[in-house]
Amino acid sequence: MGVSPGLRVEVEAWMAQDPDEVTRGELSELLSAESTEAELELKDAFRAPLEFGTAGLRGKLGGGPNRMNRVVVIQAAAGLAEYLTNQGLVGQSVVIGYDGRFNSEVFAQDTAQVLAAAGFAPMIFDHVVPTPVLAFAIRDLGTCAGVMVTASHNPPQDNGYKVYLGDGRQIVPPADKEISDCIRKVTDVRQVSMKDASTIVAADVEERYIASLANVIHAGPTTAQQRGDIVSVYTAMHGVGWNSVHEACVSSDFKEPNAVPEQRDPDPRFPTVAFPNPEEKGALDLSIAMANQTHADILIANDPDADRLAVALPLANGEWKTLHGDQVGSLLAWWVIERARRTNTKLVGTFANSIVSSMLMEQIAKSAGLKYENTLTGFKWVSRVPNLIYGYEEALGYCVNPEFVGDKDGVSAATFILEMAAALKDEGRTLWSVLDELALQFGLHASDQVSVKVNDLSQVANVMNGLRTNPPQEFGDMNVAQVFDLAKSETGLPPTDGVIFMLQGNDEVTKARVIVRPSGTEPKIKCYLEVVCPNEDLTLAGASARKALDALAADAKPLLS
């Protein structure tokens, strides 16, 4: 029993260049351990380098090329520096932010030192910040790029590295491949020059970010008195959102949210949640308890880097229900249109959402005479739609302030949701009533998702190939009317790995859709389900939708295995 000679050589070579004594020690212990578990851990850590894609890097902390560590980060920073140099940008500024996870600040400092030595002028926040603040700072400061060290809503043992270019948007092809090619050239970080010559991002950058949100709210249709009447509960999910959300609310005259104390401040252990994602079952339990205690009108939650927003509302029976991302997306779409109507502002531009998000968005946009675009999954695509007024993706990402932030922004979305709730409360209405009105006008759009985790990435290819070569003829007793292979650009979108099944519907369902695609950030195959049920009795429509979604899920899940 023991590590093979070839793997041992590889591990020892890695340790020789690793500047972190913690990860060196962990690898040394694994090499010394005479156990199958240690050998398997090393094999996985050295299986292959973390892939640098359009979301940058993301993975488990630890030593080795398939982990997030200082070697991988220095390689990434050096690759980014070479790419920017090739673009003729030497001498320009790069702004760097980081969240509250383990090693985030260390990774940010390493990045700054590599960029400084390569001839750039790194600017780094001296405290944790939300991802949308970093995205705002890129445009505000006029930098040529930005780096955010974050793993978003991943488990506590993970970290990540997100890259933006000077437009303040996440990278897309071909930039991601070109940066990746540059990273692969860095084989020994001992050869990478590093220089401690960064400057601290001035506090007025965050002040201007907050002001951009407050100015929009103050120009809206609600009064300070109405905004001050909304009672809200907020959780940062142990992340970095509280300070920004608090300042945004105070500056916009909202009543200060009731922050869940156990989850308000950054804590990389995420001790009160099994998984720091507001979509996960149980993640909002503490928030709901506080909402009941405070008789709140609304519950809002950010993920740990505050680029996403979750919303929960009280039901008539006193219980709380978390809205699906598509419901929040549709509500915000309605409100963007409605607030313009109430302020006599003419909207000109485009609404957009990702292809796995609800079909309702298109109808809302076109009913208001606005253009609409469907994009590939990921906010890097949504944010690039020309003349974007509002965009969202079903995974809790919303862009309501595209002039200032070219990415999803859970802080500004929170102010818009609170503003909407304030206007409706003043009229004796709720967000539920707007969802009902949308359902009566356009049909009840209901969506759900099933996914399967994979241990072997070859399983993903096998599943997707099977769906293409032998596509199912029906889901949930509804015949497949059309099949679109996204890898062949049959929708007019850039090629991507995914398959869309459009269904004919039945007596209770007007139309339905099933989309299967690999996850871009997790080892999962995801299946997105949507049905449309028209019925003036929304209770019956809801029951029909739930029945249809369950039937679709029952047929879809075996196909993912």
- From the candidate CATH numbers 3.40.120.10, 3.40.630.30, 1.10.540.10, 3.90.1150.10, the one assigned to the domain spanning 207-439: 3.40.120.10
Report yes or no on whether pTM surpasses 0.85: yes
Domains 53-202 and 207-439 share a fold: yes
Calculate the CA 519 to chain-centre distance: 12
H/E run at residue 170: none
What is the structure's pLDDT at 49? 93
**Cα–Cα distance for residue pair 361/208, rounded to 1 Å:** 31
H/E run at residue 525: strand 524-533
**Cα–Cα distance for residue pair 76/50, rounded to 1 Å:** 10
Q: What is the pLDDT of residues 251-296, one digit of tens each?
A: 999 999 999 999 999 999 999 998 999 999 999 999 999 999 999 9
Please spell the DSSP secondary structure of 213-248, one letter per residue.
HHHHHHTSS--HHHHTT--EEEE-TTSS-HHHHHHH
Q: Map out the domains of the chain as residue ranges.
A: 1-47, 53-202, 207-439, 444-560
Cα dihedral across residues 431, 379, 468, 50: positive or negative: negative
Sequence-distant (≥ 6) Cβ neighbours of residue 332 within 8 angstroms: 390, 392, 398, 400, 413, 416, 417, 420
**Cα–Cα distance for residue pair 531/512, rounded to 1 Å:** 4
Sequence-distant (≥ 6) Cβ neighbours of residue 189 within 8 angstroms: 17, 19, 70, 71, 74, 75, 78
H/E run at residue 381: helix 379-382
What is the structure's pLDDT at 521? 66
- 501-518: string of b/e by CB count within 10 Å (b at 16+)? bbbebbebbebbbbbbbb
- Region label for 238, one of left (φ > 0), alpha (ψ between -120 and 50) or beta (otherwise): left
**Could you give the angle at the alpha carbon of 87 between the alpha carbons of 81 and 88, nearest 5°?**
95
What is the structure's pLDDT at 535? 82
- 162-174: string of b/e by CB count within 10 Å (b at 16+)? bbbbbebbbbbee
**Cα–Cα distance for residue pair 300/153, rounded to 1 Å:** 16
Q: Are strands 158-165 and 57-60 parallel, antiparallel or unpaired?
A: antiparallel
Contact 300, 294 (CB under 8 A): no
**What CATH superfamily is the domain 444-560?**
Alpha-D-phosphohexomutase, C-terminal domain (3.30.310.50)
Q: In the 8-state DSSP scheme, what is residue 449?
A: E
Contact 34, 161 (CB under 8 A): no
Q: Are strands 499-503 and 444-453 parallel, antiparallel or unpaired?
A: unpaired
Q: What is the pLDDT of residues 396-432, one digit of tens each?
A: 999 999 999 999 999 999 999 999 999 999 999 999 9
Contact 421, 338 (CB under 8 A): no
Q: Which residues of the chain have pLDDT under 70?
A: 1, 54, 490, 521
Both structure tokens of 102: 């383990």
Neighbours of 382 (CB within 10 A): 29
Where would I find the H helices in 443-537?
458-469
Q: What is the pLDDT of residues 455-513, one digit of tens each?
A: 777 788 899 999 999 999 999 999 999 999 999 876 788 888 999 999 998 989 999 99
Backbone angles phi, psi at 19, to 5 degrees: -80, -5
H/E run at residue 392: strand 388-393
Of the candidates 377, 364, 376, 372, the one whose C-alpha atom is nearest the C-alpha of residue 388 is 372
CATH of region 53-202: 3.40.120.10
**Could you give the angle at the alpha carbon of 279 between the alpha carbons of 277 and 283, nearest 5°?**
65
**Could you give the angle at the alpha carbon of 431 between the alpha carbons of 415 and 242, nearest 5°?**
30
Going through 127-190 in order, the beta strands assigned E by DSSP cover 145-149, 158-165
What is the structure's pLDDT at 186? 97
Active site residue 198: no
Where would I find the H helices in 48-103?
70-86
What is the structure's pLDDT at 53? 74
Both structure tokens of 132: 């949308």
Q: In the 8-state DSSP scheme, what is residue 53?
A: B
Q: Which of 93, 104, 152, 232 is catalytic?
A: 152
Q: Would you state the torsion angle of the CA atoms of residues 173, 176, 178, 179, taken in this order, to the nearest 10 degrees?
A: 160
Both structure tokens of 560: 């993912």
Backbone angles phi, psi at 506, to 5 degrees: -155, -160
Q: In the 8-state DSSP scheme, what is residue 307?
A: S
Sequence-distant (≥ 6) Cβ neighbours of residue 38 within 8 angstroms: 3, 29, 30, 31
Contact 14, 63 (CB under 8 A): yes
Backbone angles phi, psi at 214, to 5 degrees: -65, -40
What is the structure's pLDDT at 54? 66
Sequence-distant (≥ 6) Cβ neighbours of residue 220 within 8 angstroms: 339, 342, 343, 419
What is the structure's pLDDT at 1? 55
Q: What is the pLDDT of residues 22-33, one digit of tens each?
A: 999 999 999 999
